[in-house]
Amino acid sequence: MNVRGVGKPGKAARPRGRTQFNLRGRLGLVAGALGLCSLALVGRAVDLQIIDNDFYRQQGDARFLREIPIPTSRGMITDRNGEPLAVSSPVESIWGNPQELLKAPDRLPELARALGVPTEQLTRKLGQRSDKEFVYLKRRINPDEARAILAHDIPGVASQREFRRFYPQGEALAHVLGFTNIDDRGQEGVELAFDDWLRGTPGAKKVIRDRRGRIVENVDLVRAAQPGRDLTLSIDRRIQYLTYRELKRALLETGASSASAVVLDIATGEVLAMANLPSYNPNAVDGSRRDAHRNRAVTDVVEPGSTMKPVTIAAGLAAGVVTPDTLIDTRPGWMPNGRYRTTDTHNYGVLTVTGVITKSSNVGAAKVAHRLSDRQFYDFVRRFGYGRAPHSGFPGESSGVLPPPSRWSGTSKQTMAYGYGLSATPLQIAQVYAAFANDGRMIAPTFVKGQPNPPTQVLDPRIAHEVMRMMQTVTEPGGTATQAAILGYHVAGKTGTARMASGGGYARRYVSLFAGVVPVEHPRFSMAVVVSDPDPGRRGYYGGSVSGPVFHNVMQGALRLMDVPPDDIETWLAAQARAQGVGSAGAGIAAAGAPAATGAAAGAVHEPAQRVPAATGVRP
């Protein structure tokens, strides 16, 4: 009997509707898929890293590759003998990454203590620049101080090299040199005038930095740094110091408010010294004393007073209307000046033209000017540089004021003859006296040693010599500036005392001036000294007693420093003989070193100061 559904013995029955499971096939399929994926990944990696990697390289570089500047030192400034006047010293500046620092606010108090600033201030500074990656935290500090800050190992804090300017002469040369700002750019004086020459060109390099800002690798030099070029000035630091010291002494002894002085080399026009008071420390400049930053010798003008009289006399000599021996009647010591008077301190009677200079007679100078036409007088004064910039190259130099004849009143020429109604800087006055000493040749002043300056003939040499001889009498017994005399040397000069303008008139405050040349036989130095608003109760206010001693002390030192031979041996020998006659070595030294006191004892004559032009509205 057959039973349905019973198969052959030993064989299992296969379920209907199912396929047999193929493990080997499936493994092959998975392996193939993985292989294809791997091949695709390798291909993509090759594409990204080798074939088309510019985008991702740029993205990576943007996070770690930086182009940083290579700082370069500013050129050194030296005096004419190679002594350093301005040098750049390496310093460090601490900077930070605000984005990195703000991630660790718990480290900010520690950083603030290291920087020496309040935590609130540092937090506010970083918060205001939270979208930046660079901010200065402390600039131009000592490298040791920078290392102490970095030793805290605060993420996002690093340092970079910079340079800071130092001025060894300090206040004595501040107005000539000027100073630089925190970015080492010239702001005043020579530093500003020659900024392009001194500054140099910073370099640049590409580096890789880690997240803390530290340089991991130097990648490439973009451009090499070019250091600034050195500059040799015409200044002699020894004469500069003498000038500054004597000006400071004059302010202390006279109670003046300010003072300026300029020393020129007559043959070259080089500025050997230029000092002003009050001064400032260029190593620690602040904004509290901006007025003290001004170089008054170049930017500020004064009415030249009686220092103008040699120019007036030279104009008369050049026009042939007078000679050194022409007699001028100054009686009775005054003359009309419109509604006012031109007066002398004394009635000098009849003077020669030389005597007008010796006694500093306003009346005499005015009468010489009256012999000239307005155009003759104006053109001659203009030829000497008044009313024109001296072209020294110094920033902000003033041209002074010399109004043309079309703007003159009926008394303008008369007051200009003795130094009112026009104005000039101390540098311009020193330049005029250098022209007298240089055979009538005027040279533009310069602050750079060896800079060629072709002279301009402004006066006949013969007339220049005559004026020099006249000015020599000013420092001799009977003149107005015996305190400017220097034993063993002939000194030619002229005092000046001008009242200070105030509110459309003239106040009873004074400017004391002295301008001179030494030695007369072979002139080397021209110097102008201007002292403003001295206290009349101390040493008076006349140029001979206030500014004359400054000239004496500075020039006496300069002559010795420069080994200038004396041109008045007879006077020196006579002083030695008198000293030996006293029989005391100490007295001999005193006599040999104090000719100014001897002159003062002989009785100095003062130039008049109360010469007020009609236009001022102030009665004499």
What pLDDT, on the 0 to 100 scale, is given for residue 601?
32
Calculate the CA dihedral of residues 389, 391, 393, 399 and round it to 10 degrees: -10
- The answer to the question of residue 247 being in a domain is yes
What pLDDT, on the 0 to 100 scale, is given for residue 73?
84
What pLDDT, on the 0 to 100 scale, is given for residue 330?
95
Q: Could you list the beta-strand ranges (E) of 193-241.
A: 203-209, 215-223, 231-232
What pLDDT, on the 0 to 100 scale, is given for residue 593?
44
What CATH number is attached to the domain comprising 556?
3.40.710.10
- The answer to the question of residue 471 being in a domain is yes
What pLDDT, on the 0 to 100 scale, is given for residue 285?
86
> Do 221 and 78 share a domain, yes or no?
yes
> Do 258 and 220 share a domain, yes or no?
no
Tokens of 238: 């020894």
Q: Give the number of domains in the chain.
A: 2
What pLDDT, on the 0 to 100 scale, is given for residue 525?
98
Phi, psi of 493 (to 5 degrees): -170, -175
> Do 311 and 222 share a domain, yes or no?
no
Q: Are 270 and 446 in contact (CB under 8 A)?
A: yes
> Do 437 and 422 share a domain, yes or no?
yes
Q: Write the CA distances from 90 to 140, 266, 357, 429, 515, integer angstroms.
A: 8, 39, 56, 41, 43
How many CA within 13 A on the CB side of residue 425?
27
Extract the residue ranges of the chain whose pLDDT is less than 50: 1-3, 5-8, 584-604, 610-620
DSSP annotation of 450:
T
What pLDDT, on the 0 to 100 scale, is given for residue 585?
44
> Do 328 and 420 share a domain, yes or no?
yes
pLDDT 10s digits, 30-85 = 888 888 888 888 877 777 677 766 666 665 555 566 666 777 889 999 999 999 99
Phi, psi of 603 (to 5 degrees): 100, 95
Three-state SS string over 300-364 comes to CCECCHHHHHHHHHHHHHHHCCCCCCCEEECCCCEEEECCEEEECCCCCCEEEHHHHHHHCCHHH
> Do 243 and 187 share a domain, yes or no?
no
The single residue listed with the structure tokens 């000493």 is 437
Q: Could you list the beta-strand ranges (E) of 472-605.
A: 492-502, 505-518, 525-532
- The answer to the question of residue 287 being in a domain is no
* pLDDT, averaged across the chain: 86
> Do 184 and 315 share a domain, yes or no?
no
What pLDDT, on the 0 to 100 scale, is given for residue 607?
59
Model-wide pTM > 0.85: no
Distance separating alpha carbons of residues 301 and 397, to the nearest angstrom: 10
Distance separating alpha carbons of residues 242 and 300, to the nearest angstrom: 22
Identify the bridge partners of residue 231 per DSSP, sorted by sequence position: 77
- The answer to the question of residue 455 being in a domain is yes
Q: Write the CA distances from 114 to 10, 110, 343, integer angstroms.
A: 93, 6, 71
Nearest Cα residue to 494 out of 415, 442, 419: 419
> Do 507 and 366 share a domain, yes or no?
yes
Q: Are 451 and 334 in contact (CB under 8 A)?
A: no
> Do 221 and 259 share a domain, yes or no?
no
What CATH number is attached to the domain comprising 122?
3.90.1310.10
Question: Is 306 a catalytic site residue?
Answer: yes
What pLDDT, on the 0 to 100 scale, is given for residue 24?
78
The one catalytic residue among 73, 159, 260, 306? 306
> Do 224 and 79 share a domain, yes or no?
yes
Phi, psi of 83 (to 5 degrees): -75, 135
> Do 215 and 325 share a domain, yes or no?
no
Distance separating alpha carbons of residues 214 and 68, to the nearest angstrom: 12
What pLDDT, on the 0 to 100 scale, is given for residue 44?
77
Distance separating alpha carbons of residues 85 and 240, to the nearest angstrom: 11
Distance separating alpha carbons of residues 598 and 591, to the nearest angstrom: 8
Identify the bridge partners of residue 304 per DSSP, sorted by sequence position: none
CA 2 to centroid of chain Cα atoms: 132
CA 351 to centroid of chain Cα atoms: 45
Angle at 500 between CA 350 and CA 373, to 5 degrees: 50
Q: Write the CA distances from 156 to 103, 246, 364, integer angstroms.
A: 10, 54, 79
Number of H helices, E strands in the chain: 24, 19
- The answer to the question of residue 615 being in a domain is no
Phi, psi of 76 (to 5 degrees): -80, 145
Helical axes 585-593 vs 569-582, angle rounded to 10° = 150
Tokens of 610: 């109360």
> Do 510 and 380 share a domain, yes or no?
yes
- Which range marks the domain in which residue 377 is found? 237-282+297-574
- The answer to the question of residue 6 being in a domain is no
- Please confirm whether the linkage preceding 278 is cis (ω < 30° from 0): yes
pLDDT 10s digits, 168-209 = 999 999 999 999 998 889 999 999 999 999 988 877 777 676
